[in-house]
C-alpha cells in the first residue's frame, strides 16, 4: 500500500502549529509574538517572525509591521512661563514629528510650573509610568535627583537638556558648555565697554538651574581675569519672567547711574530691553542675552540688544531623540550625537 503524498506546501495556508514547529517554540509563544504581546525575548520574536515569513503566513506589509517595534514614547518636560526660547523648543517637539519618524519615536511636550523642584519631581514620577523616556530641563534639588534615580532603577532613561543635574543617574546631557557661555558673555561685555570704568550686572532666571549658576561663574571669572575696571554689582533673579526682568532692570538703572552692561543669563530679554528703552539707555548699556527668538531678533535689529548667545533648538531636540534611540538599540548613549555648539549672533550676522 502506497502512502498518500503530503499536500504541496502552497496547497494550504500555514498554521500557528507550523510556525511553532519551524521556530522550535510553543504555539502559545507564537500567539504572543503574532499578537505583539510582551513577555517574549527579542531573539525568540525574531525567530518566530522569520519562520512566519518563510511560511508565507504574513504578507510583506504585515510582516514588516510585525518586525517594527512599537515607537518609543518620549516626553519633554519643560518649564512654563515667558521664556520664549523654551516655548519655541516645546512647540517644535509637536510640529517636527516627521523629523523623528526615522527613529520610530513619538514625542510630546508637557509644560510644568517653573522653578518648582517638587512639581518637576512629581511630573517625572507621573509621566514615567506611561512613557519610555523623559527629557527635562533639570532643577538642582534632592527631590529631582531622587525621582531620576527611581526611574533609572526601573530602566527608564532620563536626558537633561539646557541645564544638567549634578551627581545624578541621568543618561546624558544635551546643552551648551554653560561656563564657557558665561565667559563669552563677560568677554563681549568687557570688549564692548572698552577701557572705561563701569558697573555691570547679571539677571538670572534662577540659580536653581545649574546652567545659570555655571554661566554666572564663567562671567565672573573672565571679568576678574581680563577687565579690572569693571565692577560686578550683583546678581538679580527674574525667573525668566518679562515683568520681573523689567522691574529688576529699572531698579538697577536707578541704583547705578553709571551702569555699563547687563548680562541676562536666562530668558525674557524683552523685559530688560523695555526698561533700557524707557530709561533712554538702550544705546548706552551693553546688553547680552541668551536664545535667538523672534523677540531677541527684533531687539538685535533695533540696537537695544548687542549680542545673543544661542544654540539650535532643532539640533538640541534631534540629539535627545538620537540618545533615546541609541539606548533602545543597545548603543552608547552619545554614539553619533554631535556636541552642542554655541553661536554668538549680532545684528550683522542674523541667520
In sequence order, what are the residues at sequence separation of 6 or more whose Cβ sits closer than 8 angstroms to the Cβ of residue 64? none
Element at 233 (helix H, strand E):
strand 230-237
pLDDT of residue 5: 41
Comparing CA positions, the residue from 196, 212, 161, 191 lying closest to residue 314 is 161
Q: How confident is the model at residue 67 (pLDDT cuts 50, 70, 90)?
A: low
Q: In the CATH hierarchy, which top-level class contains the domain 14-65?
A: mainly alpha
Per-residue pLDDT, averaged over 243-260, amounts to 95
pLDDT of residue 40: 80
Whether the CB-CB separation of 348 and 301 falls below 8 Å is answered with: no
Specify the CATH superfamily of domain 176-308: Response regulator (3.40.50.2300)
Whether the CB-CB separation of 190 and 268 falls below 8 Å is answered with: no
pLDDT of residue 63: 57
- Please give the model's pTM, rounded to 2 decimal places: 0.81
Do the domains at 14-65 and 70-174+312-340 have one common CATH topology? no
Torsion (CA) 45, 47, 50, 52 in degrees, nearest 10: -70
The larger pLDDT score, comparing residue 17 to residue 231, is at 231
In sequence order, what are the residues at sequence separation of 6 or more whose Cβ sits closer than 8 angstroms to the Cβ of residue 102? none
Q: How confident is the model at residue 272 (pLDDT cuts 50, 70, 90)?
A: very high
pLDDT of residue 64: 52
What are the sequence ranges of the domains in the chain? 14-65, 70-174+312-340, 176-308
Per-residue pLDDT, averaged over 155-184, amounts to 97
The listed CATH number (3.40.50.2300, 3.30.70.20, 3.40.50.1820, 3.30.70.270) that belongs to domain 70-174+312-340: 3.40.50.2300
Across all residues in the chain, what is the average pLDDT? 90
Amino acid at each position: 500500500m502506497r502512502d498518500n503524498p503530503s499536500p504541496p506546501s502552497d496547497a494550504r495556508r500555514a498554521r500557528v502549529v507550523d510556525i511553532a514547529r519551524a521556530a522550535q517554540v510553543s504555539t502559545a509563544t507564537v500567539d504572543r509574538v503574532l499578537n505583539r504581546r510582551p513577555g517574549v525575548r527579542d531573539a525568540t520574536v525574531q525567530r518566530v517572525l522569520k519562520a512566519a515569513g518563510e511560511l508565507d503566513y504574513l504578507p510583506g506589509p504585515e510582516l514588516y509591521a510585525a518586525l517594527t517595534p512599537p515607537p518609543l514614547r518620549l516626553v519633554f518636560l519643560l518649564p512654563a512661563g515667558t521664556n520664549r526660547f523654551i516655548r519655541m523648543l516645546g512647540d517644535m517637539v509637536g510640529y517636527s514629528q516627521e523629523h523623528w519618524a526615522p527613529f520610530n519615536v513619538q514625542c510630546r511636550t508637557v509644560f510644568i510650573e517653573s522653578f518648582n523642584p517638587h512639581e518637576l519631581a512629581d511630573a517625572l514620577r507621573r509621566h514615567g509610568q506611561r512613557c519610555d523616556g523623559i527629557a527635562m530641563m533639570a532643577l538642582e534639588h534632592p527631590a529631582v535627583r531622587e525621582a531620576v534615580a527611581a526611574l533609572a532603577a526601573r530602566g527608564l532613561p532620563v536626558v537633561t537638556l539646557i541645564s544638567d543635574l549634578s551627581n545624578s543617574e541621568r543618561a546624558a546631557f544635551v546643552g551648551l558648555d554653560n561656563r564657557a557661555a558665561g565667559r563669552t558673555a563677560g568677554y563681549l561685555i568687557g570688549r564692548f565697554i572698552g577701557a572705561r570704568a563701569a558697573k555691570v550686572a547679571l539677571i538670572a532666571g534662577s540659580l536653581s538651574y545649574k546652567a545659570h549658576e555655571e554661566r554666572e561663574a564663567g562671567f565672573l571669572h573672565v571679568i576678574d581675569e581680563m577687565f579690572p575696571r569693571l565692577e560686578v554689582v550683583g546678581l538679580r533673579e527674574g525667573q525668566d519672567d518679562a515683568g520681573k526682568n523689567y522691574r529688576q532692570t529699572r531698579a538697577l538703572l536707578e541704583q547705578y547711574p553709571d551702569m555699563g552692561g547687563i548680562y541676562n543669563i536666562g530668558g525674557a530679554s524683552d523685559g530688560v530691553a523695555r526698561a533700557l528703552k524707557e530709561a533712554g539707555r538702550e544705546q548706552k548699556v551693553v546688553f547680552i542675552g541668551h536664545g535667538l527668538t523672534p523677540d531677541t531678533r527684533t531687539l538685535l535689529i533695533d540696537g537695544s540688544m548687542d549680542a545673543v548667545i544661542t544654540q539650535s533648538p532643532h539640533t538640541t531636540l534631534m540629539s535627545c531623540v538620537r540618545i533615546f534611540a541609541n539606548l533602545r538599540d543597545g548603543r552608547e548613549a552619545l554614539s553619533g550625537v554631535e556636541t552642542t555648539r554655541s553661536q554668538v549672533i549680532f545684528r550683522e550676522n542674523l541667520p
